[in-house]
Amino acid sequence: MKLHFFHLMPYRFLPDDFTEKHRSVWVDVDSNLFDPAKGHQIYNENLDELELASELGFDGICVNEHHQNAYGLMPSPNLMAASLARRTRDSALVVLGNSLALYNPPTRVAEEFAMLDCLSGGRLVAGFPVGTSMDTNFCYGQTPATLREKYQEAHDLVMQAWTRPEVFAFNGKYTQLRYVNIWPRPVQKPHPPVWIPGGGSIETWQWVAERDYMYSYLSYFGHQRGLNVMKGYWDEVERQGKEKNPYRAGFLQFIAVSESEAQAEKDYAEHAEYFYNRCLRVYPGFADAPGYRTMATVRAGLKAQFERQTQQAAAGALTWKNFVDQGYILAGSPESVAQQLEEAARALHVGHMMVLLQFGSMPPDLVRKNTELFAKEVMPRVRPVFDEYEDRWWIKPLPSEQRMRPQGSLEPAGTPAGGGP
Amino acid sequence: MENQSVSLHDGECNVDLLQGGSGDPLLFLHGSGGVRRGPYLDLLAQKFTVYAPSHPGFGKSDGLEKVDDIIDLALFYHDLMDELGLASAHVLGHSLGGMLAAELAALCEHRVRRLVLTNPVGLWRDDEPVADFFSMTPNEYINHMLHDPDAPGMKELFATPGNPDEVMEQMYERLQAFSAAGKFLWPIPDKGLRRRIHRIKAPTLLIWGQSDRLVPPSYAEDFRSRIADSRVVIMAESAHVPMLEKPEEFVSLVTDFLNE
């Protein structure tokens, strides 16, 4: 299986009394809590962490899009991916992704992803989430009832912009363009692999399977709770008569590796509690705008499940024991984590495992420890899983010898053109 | 009052319609919560022939996907009036339905005889924004909507059912209604009425519950100053749903005005 290093880029300096004094980490989170100097620090630390993961041999490094959110400082994951494209060599740049309905016109996404694919020599994985209700409806003002229709139209436009060689007109309900003809075009043909992050909507399973895309369930609640959603997806794949190839699925899993289970708790418990209790404090009114989920999905009873999760997370009573017992976090020695991860991957039937090795308030030295232990001692143990399947949802980069590396500046520093001040 | 289904556009849209009473025709246009049952409908039906349709996407009415914005919806009601054989009618609109009634009257002056807008949305002022009821939890919503949630009758109207299946049904209905309302009001209920409201020629009565915390009563003056023949009545001890909170007083105001 393939292993990807996922980063949420959380703000790790929320105050201890955050849950008492603030109703939400998202949408209307208090801007006074953000210190730009700390922002500078976090971006640079987090990019270092992603670059380290690439050096240590992770198959992909993943960034994602959130808005007005204190646990996700990436309104533009493309900016992060652009920086990473220059500083990494072989890893896939997994952008999970651009919420298509938020870009006007959506050809902007086709253009920026094509830029990233050219810049990285064909290492881009193109993620197209619908986006959460908080991001799309509340922060970006999209009408819930028409969000999915707008998303699907934007998807059609982006795919045509990538694959049609001629100049064409696009007469959509949400976007009208007389001349679509993007420059540059992606390196990967016919287009970069498309991964669709989803939250368990019935319609998304169907839509993804029909198009032969890859489905990623980005849950914060671990493999045990993920089983239901992944089963729904696999049932749909089977219903459509498609191959049950594990590489058509991805899953996000929190991981905490240390010398032992006891040491893992010592190392990571406070940072996990920071994440689940502070970062997931979302005002319930923002969790799910009316119309964001279709009535079919709501009726399927999934809403109750999501609400339980949100409420439980918001209750603030979760501790390390909950996280480990319920599988939110796979923790322990490398042997133990490898075994748990293999079991989880097989149960979920997921070939693309995205692991979150930085979570909550975890500082760089601890992220390095977790990442190195995972890369050196867990990864080799679990990589052979699913070797018998072909991964048709993977990048097709230019040959290594054709891919450019950054060259140092040719000009001596300190002599600005046109004379100095 | 009796339920019937009216088919429009060769069966593409089916409107669930509550109809009853006798007298001049009165079209009641409901707000974001759907047609709320209460004594006010029967009281109105004692004086008028009341038509209370559910908008597309609300209750048992379908066809929301055929209607993209508030103007489409207003034109949809022109079609429904044609189908019902109503060349013109009195129109009473509440909240979202008030915005809709104002658009209906602005689009064509001959259709609306006299107009009553109660706690309408449709205008926006930065100094006193309309509350974001879409993001409210059910309890917050009720507290914003009612002058006194503990007043007699209110508990019965807004009670949470005891049976879990009924609770789920109530939740689904609210979600469905708000989802449909969002199509016309998200994220800010200001969709251009300001540019069209001056076209309203019908004599207009604005009724506002004094304690409305969803759409503050100060908006009454914004409407009044833009509609030529209009006046305002502020109802004490009422909030966003005066027809439910004070049905007798509400119906008597409406009846007196429509019979002038």
Q: What percent of chain B has pLDDT over 70?
A: 100
d(CA A265, CA B58): 51
To which H or E segment does residue A264 belong?
helix A261-273
A-interface mutation test, from B134, B171, B174, B190, most A Cβ less than 10 A away: B134
Domain CATH for B58 = 3.40.50.1820
- Tell me whether B79 touches chain A (CB under 8 Å): no
| Amino acid in position A228 | N
B12 or A61, higher pLDDT:
A61
Flag residues of chain A having pLDDT under 50.
418-421
The predicted-structure confidence for B214-234, as pLDDT tens digits, reads as follows: 999 999 999 999 999 999 999
**What distances in angstroms separate CA A12 from CA A295, A372, B58, one per listed residue?**
37, 21, 44
Nearest-Cα distance to chain B for A285, in Å, is: 4
Q: The domain containing residue B222 runs over which residues?
A: 2-258
Instruction: Give me the pLDDT at residue A299, please.
Output: 80
With CA atoms as reference, the chain A residue closest to B187 would be A141
pLDDT at residue A419, as a whole number: 45
Q: Looking at residue A420, what is its pLDDT?
A: 43
Between CA A338 and CA A359 the distance in angstroms is 19
Q: Looking at the predicted structure, is the pLDDT value of residue B155 above 50?
A: yes
pLDDT per residue as tens digits for the range B34-66: 999 899 999 999 999 999 999 999 999 999 999
Collect all residues of chain A within an 8 Å Cβ-Cβ radius of residue B174. 290
Q: Would you call A132 an interface residue with chain B, using a CB distance cutoff of 8 Å?
A: no
- Tokens representing residue A388 in the block: 């018998």
CB B178 to CB A290 under 8 A? yes
Query: How far, in Å, CA of B41 to CA of B32, rounded?
Result: 17
Question: What angle is formed at CA A289 by the lines to CA A286 and CA A290, rounded to 5 degrees?
Answer: 145
Nearest to B137 among A144, A284, A290 (CB): A284
Helices (H), A74-221: 77-87, 107-119, 133, 144-163, 202-211
Chain-chain contact of B182 with A141 (C-beta, under 8 angstroms): no
Q: What is the ipTM of this complex?
A: 0.93
A279 secondary structure, DSSP code: I
* Distance separating alpha carbons of residues A71 and A125, to the nearest angstrom: 23
Considering only CA atoms, give the Rg of chain B.
17
Across the interface, whether the CB atoms of B179 and A141 are under 8 A apart is answered no
For B188, name the nearest residue in chain A, comparing CA atoms only. A141
Residues of B in contact with A291 (CB under 8 A): 175, 178-180, 182-183
Name the strand (E) or helix (H) holding A256: strand A249-257
Kindly tell me the number of DSSP H helices and DSSP E strands found in chain B.
10, 8
pLDDT per residue as tens digits for the range B172-201: 899 999 999 999 999 999 999 999 999 999
SS3 B117: strand
Who contacts A260 (Cβ-Cβ below 8 Å, separation ≥6)?
A: A332, A333
The residue type of A31 is: S
Closest CA to A126 of A92, A156, A103: A92
Q: Do the Cβ atoms of A145 and B183 come within 8 Å?
A: yes
The alpha helices in chain B, defined as continuous H runs, are 39-45, 70-83, 96-107, 138-145, 154-158, 164-185, 193-196, 219-224, 242-245, 247-258
**Across chain B, what does the average pLDDT equal?**
95
Is residue A340 helix, strand or coil?
A: helix
Whether A41 contacts chain B with CB within 8 A? no
Residue-level pLDDT at B110: 93
Residue located via tokens 């990285």: A120
Chain A residue numbers with beta carbons less than 8 Å from the beta carbon of B137 are 284-285
What's the average model confidence in pLDDT over B121-144? 95
**What three-state secondary structure class fits A6?**
strand
Beta-carbon separation of A145 and B179 below 8 A: yes
Which member of B64, B176, B187 has the closest CB to residue A141? B187
Tell me whether B64 touches chain A (CB under 8 Å): yes
CA dihedral of residues B5, A295, B176, B140 (deg, nearest 10): 160
How many beta-carbon contacts under 8 Å exist across A and B?
55
pLDDT at B158: 84
Alpha-carbon dihedral B79, B84, B90, B94, rounded to 10 degrees? -70
pLDDT digits (tens, 9 = 90+) for B158-172: 887 888 788 888 888
What's the pLDDT score for residue A306? 53
- The DSSP symbol for A107 reads H
What is the tally of structural domains in chain B?
Answer: 1
pLDDT at B164: 78
**pLDDT score at A302:** 54
